[in-house]
């Protein structure tokens, strides 16, 4: 489908841009708080514009199905890296431990939700909406902790260990690609499950 091709090109170009800037160290000029803001606003805005203004893209997001959009949350297994980095004393524990654990739980749970809480016809069962709302809340908590630990002036970090290493590769892919993408997929799942849409597809 042309709609699928449009979305795939969009995500691929987004990833290539984020990866290139991350590898070259371009993101390191920003604070981690600024990077989270830039990544979330820019990516979400671009995706939202496509979703609401392009009939082709709206058709694509509906056709993707609740199962596929939900399974995208497996990307949050990247949160394991946060636990590794806090063990190496690179990231502050007050940010990395809850973020890593929440990401891992959501990633694993997404497989269950996709398999059990979406019918064969693509209809959401009770608990589907709750999962994605909780997923959004965990992202909000992670971003808040990242911002509050981005500088010692907020009083949450000691010993000079802040969330600034999130601007280093490969961690910089979190605020510039992975984080915004899973945020968008949570929103897409909630929108696509709206009964006002046409008949959804399971996969």
What is the domain extent for residue 88? 2-192
Residue 202 lies in a domain: no
Residue 115 lies in a domain: yes
**Residue range 66-109, pLDDT digits in tens:** 888 899 999 999 999 999 999 999 999 999 999 999 999 999 99
Residue 111 lies in a domain: yes
| Number of domains composing the chain | 1
Residue 179 lies in a domain: yes
Residue 154 lies in a domain: yes
**Residue range 6-24, pLDDT digits in tens:** 667 878 888 999 999 999 9
**Residue range 171-188, pLDDT digits in tens:** 999 999 999 889 888 888
**Residue 38: both structure tokens together:** 């830039």
Residue 30 lies in a domain: yes
State residue 160's pLDDT score: 79
Question: What is the DSSP secondary structure assignment for residue 156, as one 8-state letter?
Answer: S
**Residue 82: both structure tokens together:** 């946060």
Residue 136 lies in a domain: yes
State residue 55's pLDDT score: 57
State residue 198's pLDDT score: 46
Confidence of residue 200 (pLDDT cuts 50, 70, 90): very low
State residue 196's pLDDT score: 64
Alpha helices in 54-178 (DSSP H): 55-64, 66-71, 80-87, 93-116, 128-148, 173
Average pLDDT (137-160) is 84
Residue with the bigger pLDDT between 142 and 57: it is 142
Confidence of residue 56 (pLDDT cuts 50, 70, 90): low
Residue 199 lies in a domain: no
Percent with pLDDT over 90 in the chain: 49
> CA-to-CA distance for 102 and 135, rounded, in angstroms?
9
């Amino acid at each position: 489908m042309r709609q699928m091709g449009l979305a795939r090109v969009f995500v691929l170009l987004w990833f290539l841009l984020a990866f290139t800037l991350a590898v070259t160290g371009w993101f390191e000029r920003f604070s981690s708080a600024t990077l989270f803001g830039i990544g979330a606003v820019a990516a979400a805005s671009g995706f939202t514009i496509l979703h609401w203004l392009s009939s082709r893209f709206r058709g694509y997001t509906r056709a993707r199905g609740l199962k596929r959009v939900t399974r995208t949350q497996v990307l949050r297994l990247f949160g394991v890296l946060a636990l590794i980095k806090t063990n190496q004393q690179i990231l502050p524990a007050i940010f990395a431990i809850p973020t890593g654990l929440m990401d891992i739980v959501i990633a694993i749970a997404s497989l269950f939700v996709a398999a059990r809480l979406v019918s064969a016809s693509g209809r959401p069962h009770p608990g589907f909406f709750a999962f994605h709302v909780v997923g959004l809340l965990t992202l909000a908590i992670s971003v808040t902790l990242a911002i509050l630990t981005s500088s010692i002036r907020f009083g949450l970090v000691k010993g000079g260990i802040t969330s600034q290493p999130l601007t280093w590769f490969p961690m910089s892919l979190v605020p510039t690609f992975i984080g915004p993408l899973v945020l968008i997929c949570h929103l897409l799942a909630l929108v696509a499950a709206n009964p006002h849409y046409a008949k959804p597809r399971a996969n």
